[in-house]
Structures are given as structure tokens and as C-alpha cells.
Amino acid sequence: MLKRFYPDRYVKSIYDIDLNDLKASGIKGIILDLDNTIIARNSSIAPKELKLWIKELSEGDFKACILSNNWKARVSSIASQVELPLVARAAKPRVKSFKRAMCVLGTGYNETAVIGDQVFTDVFGGNLAGLHTILVMPMSNHEAFHTKILRRFERRIIKRWLNINNRH
């Protein structure tokens, strides 16, 4: 039952993702959440570390784009700072939004990964769309009110995921 909410991978941050391993598993396109995944929700300046990581993606021949439910000017500013295409106002977890991002990337279901900090939008939506899902820990605790409420349920799911995955 909970399977739809489980990520394929769970890491501390985007910087802990093994890109070589991702490549080896056939991933060519990466859909990135913005808030608290690649940048803290209260920050408007893309840090150098992030720019370098995105450079690493393109050097590794990954296609990448940002998929965000946010629509504010800050989001498009960050997308242009890191020079990535943006699909904003996405309405994740709706499958349609992931399809829009895949159109931008030009990659298929088996070749696309979703990276995000939220179980109920990024992971659940990515799973529904049939994509590889990677959960990261949120970069800050600046969150929308509804996100804060969902975090409680999220913690339980992550705990179970960790229990299952540590058994192997």
C-alpha cells in the first residue's frame, strides 16, 4: 500500500547522489524539484556549489530541468541563474506535470529520474508517472503551512522505508 510513497533512493542531499550509478542504471534525464531540494526555500541566489553540480550533470550527459509547484518570480530567477529549463506551476503530484517535464527533457519513462524533498509531491507523483524517484532531505525548515502538516506523515513513511531497506 505504501509502496507508491517509497522512493527508489533516499540520500541526504543532491550532492550525495551517485551520478555514475544513476547513469549505469540507464537514467538520462533528471527532473529537479526547486524549493528545499536544490536551494533553500528562503534563498534567492543559486550557490556556487549548485552551479558546479549542475555543470557536473551536463558533463555527465544528463539532461535536466526544474519542475516546481511554485510560480513566483524567484523560481524563474533561480532557473536562469543555473541555466536550466523550468516548468513552473506544476501541480505535482499530478502525472501531467511530470510528462510536461519529460517533454522538455526528451527522455522516456525508464530514463528519467525525479529528485525532490517531498514524499507526497515529488516521490508519489514520480512513482505514479512511472519514473525513478530520489528523495533528499529538505534543505531548510522554511515551508508552506500545508507542507509542515504533511511532514508528520512523511516522517512515518520514511521511517518504514528505512526499516525495510536496512534489512537487506
Least Cβ distance, residue 125 to Mg ion (angstroms): 12
Least Cβ distance, residue 92 to Mg ion (angstroms): 9
- Return the number of the residue (33 or 111) whose C-beta is nearest Mg ion: 33
133, 8 contact by CB (below 8 A): yes
Q: Considering only residues 108-137, where is the footprint of Mg ion by CB under 5 A? A: 117
154 binds Mg ion (CB under 5 A): no
- Going through 9-143 in order, the beta strands assigned E by DSSP cover 9-11, 29-32, 63-67, 86-87, 112-116, 132-136
> What is the DSSP track for 54-91?
HHHHHHTT-EEEEE-S--SHHHHHHHHHTT--EE-S--
Least Cβ distance, residue 82 to Mg ion (angstroms): 15
Q: Considering only residues 16-75, where is the footprint of Mg ion by CB under 5 A? A: 33, 35-37
Instruction: Write out the residues near Mg ion by the rule CB under 5 A.
Output: 33, 35-37, 117
